[in-house]
Amino acid sequence: MLVITVMNNPGTGAFPLRIEGLGAAADGVAHHDGHVLFIPGTLPGEEVLARFSGTRPELIEITAPSSDRVAPPCTLFGECGGCAIQQMSLPALLDWKTTRVAEALTAAGFEDLPVPQRYQTPSYTRRRMDLAIQRVPGGVILGLHRRNGDPVDMTECHVLHPTLFALLKPLREVLSSLGALTGRGGLVLNLLDSGPDLTLSTPAELTTADRTKLAAFGRQHGLPRISWQNPKDRSIETVSQTRAVKEAFGGVEITPPPAAFLQATEDAENAIVQAVVDGLPPLNKKDITVELFAGCGTLTFPMSEKGRVIAYEGDLAAATCLKAAAGGRRVDGFHRDLMRQPLLPQDLKSTRAVVLDPPYAGAGAQTMPLAKSGVKDIVYVSCNPAALEKDGRALKEAGYSVLNWTIVDQFLWSTEVETVLVFSRDPKRIKRENSRRNHNVPSHLDS
């Protein structure tokens, strides 16, 4: 156990610190008596007074604030665990996220990185949120968890789309009336082209009266679909449907399954899709791009405008949705668990390019076979710099360079960051990209 004796000010126990940077959880990092301390609420460059509460350091006062410091916009900030760092200006936050990704790439062995493209989503645009429900005397709490604890009632939110936020109040009423909500539950909100799509989970089974109430709620608020996850076997069923459920990817309409993965905001999805499509090498219509971790086809259908796409996805409902929309297009969809059954180098023999958008932990067992495959061009969509560092190292060792990278900050005020990276080991393409960079020509003019 860490025991630290504080000598600086025996009266108050206070000691001065200079914040040197931010840790991965967005807490200020400082050194004191040979120890690394994490001080929540502080920013790089700030001078602060801190003291220990037990072995944990706590902030007493900011004596010299950073010029990046702003007033947190949300009154729930600090209580609600949804936002980690609202006291930093959004441009400074984008810089910090960019640095985190650059550091991961450098640690993976990439040098002389090009300057990234960057995109930051506006506030009030989040179209997907996974909320917690907590039964309390007289009602329910509906919101996100505290950093390490119970849910906080979401009475204010500066990221959530107003259409979804407007549903929270009436939702609290209907949820409070459900017999199945005996304790804690969950609610996934997805805002689709067809309207809000809700997926509820409850600790007990819905009663007939619960179903009637949810159906009435769906009709009253014009919700295309409300689904429910049975706590017994985790199967999902539709409890209310008033019309078709639709979302379009690259102009192709799909019907997402309940609680489907969606990029967090629509405009960030557009930025990611654009960066992926621009990052593909020049393709003939017959060239094959293999897509790994394809979801319901967010990238698949826009990419199919450039060439043929063979898409793999491990979630059965998402793969089924993608396959259902693939008919008559240059798309083949497959359901496959890529961690248990990764595509092997020989499976990728006639592949022109690979696009992958793995989950938070990274591409796992798929990374080495991909790195060894000899595929010249890879577009990697990362949502976690630590996983990117690990997977990127394998690509670096296999001879890939980073042609370009695009930071997409779609989780405002959080520590999350998406990056689209274009890797290549095609000497001609690398040479072309370098010369274009030297002449400041945008890369999308390539295709």
- Which residues sit in the known binding site for S-adenosyl-L-methionine? 263, 293, 313, 357
Segment interacting with ligand SAM, rule: CB under 6 A, options 5-13, 229-237, 335-343, 431-439? 335-343
Indicate the residue among 214 and 318 with the shorter CB distance to ligand SAM: 318
Is residue 150 within 8 Å of 440, Cβ to Cβ? no
Assess 261 for contact with ligand SAM (CB under 6 A): yes
Closest distance to ligand SAM from the beta carbon of 296 (Å): 6
Residue of 27, 197, 210, 315 that binds ligand SAM (CB under 6 A): 315
How many degrees, rounded to 5, is the angle at CA 98 between CA 95 and CA 104?
Answer: 140
Assess 256 for contact with ligand SAM (CB under 6 A): no
Dist. CA 411–CA 22, nearest whole Å: 17
Reply yes or no on whether 83 is catalytic: no
Closest distance to ligand SAM from the beta carbon of 263 (Å): 5
Number of chain positions touching ligand SAM (CB under 6 A): 17
Residue of 298, 367, 410, 419 that binds ligand SAM (CB under 6 A): 298
Assess 377 for contact with ligand SAM (CB under 6 A): no
Closest distance to ligand SAM from the beta carbon of 44 (Å): 29
Nearest Cα residue to 272 out of 425, 422, 432, 391 = 422
CB atoms within 10 A of CB 206: 21
Assess 359 for contact with ligand SAM (CB under 6 A): yes
Closest distance to ligand SAM from the beta carbon of 341 (Å): 8
Nearest Cα residue to 73 out of 65, 64, 60, 82 = 82
Assess 418 for contact with ligand SAM (CB under 6 A): no
Please state the three-class secondary structure of the chain as a single string.
Answer: CCCCCCCCCCCCCCEEEECCEECCCCCEEEEECCEEEEECCCCCCCEEEEEEECCEEEEEEEEECCCCECCCCCCCECCECCCCCCCECHHHHHHHHHHHHHHHHHHCCCCCCCCCEEEECCCCCECEEEEEEEEECCEEEEEEECCCCCEEECCCCCCECHHHHHHHHHHHHHHHCCCCCCCEEEEEEEEECCEEEEEEECCCCCCHHHHHHHHHHHHHCCCCEEEEECCCCCCEEEEEECCCCCEEECCEEECCCCCCCCCCEHHHHHHHHHHHHHHCCCCCCCCEEEEECCCCCCCHHHHCCCCEEEEEECCHHHHHHHHHHHCCCCEEEEECCCCCCCCCHHHHCCCCEEEECCCCCCCHHHHHHHHHCCCCEEEEEECCHHHHHHHHHHHHHCCCEEEEEEEEECCCCCCCCEEEEEEECCHHHHHHHHHHHHCCCCHHHHC
Residue of 339, 386, 394, 430 that binds ligand SAM (CB under 6 A): 339
Residue of 30, 48, 338, 408 that binds ligand SAM (CB under 6 A): 338
Please give the residue whose beta carbon sits closest to ligand SAM in the complex: 314
Indicate the residue among 299 and 379 with the shorter CB distance to ligand SAM: 299
Assess 77 for contact with ligand SAM (CB under 6 A): no
Assess 411 for contact with ligand SAM (CB under 6 A): no
Residues 144-173 that bind ligand SAM (CB under 6 A): none
Closest distance to ligand SAM from the beta carbon of 105 (Å): 19
Residue of 46, 313, 389, 409 that binds ligand SAM (CB under 6 A): 313
Token representation of residue 281: 């090498």
Closest distance to ligand SAM from the beta carbon of 266 (Å): 12
Segment interacting with ligand SAM, rule: CB under 6 A, options 7-15, 33-41, 308-316, 405-413? 308-316
Assess 379 for contact with ligand SAM (CB under 6 A): no
Indicate the residue among 119 and 217 with the shorter CB distance to ligand SAM: 119
Segment interacting with ligand SAM, rule: CB under 6 A, options 17-25, 109-117, 331-339, 408-416? 331-339
Is residue 446 within 8 Å of 282, Cβ to Cβ? yes
Residue of 314, 362, 385, 392 that binds ligand SAM (CB under 6 A): 314
Closest distance to ligand SAM from the beta carbon of 330 (Å): 17
Residue of 357, 377, 389, 409 that binds ligand SAM (CB under 6 A): 357
Q: Which residues 6+ apart lie within 8 Å of 78 measured at CB?
A: 41, 72
Binding-site residues: 263, 293, 313, 357
Token representation of residue 211: 């179903």
Segment interacting with ligand SAM, rule: CB under 6 A, options 132-140, 251-259, 292-300, 302-310? 292-300
Closest distance to ligand SAM from the beta carbon of 132 (Å): 22
Residues that are catalytic: 383
Residues of this chain that interact with ligand SAM (CB under 6 A) are: 261, 263, 293-295, 298-299, 313-315, 318, 337-339, 357, 359, 383
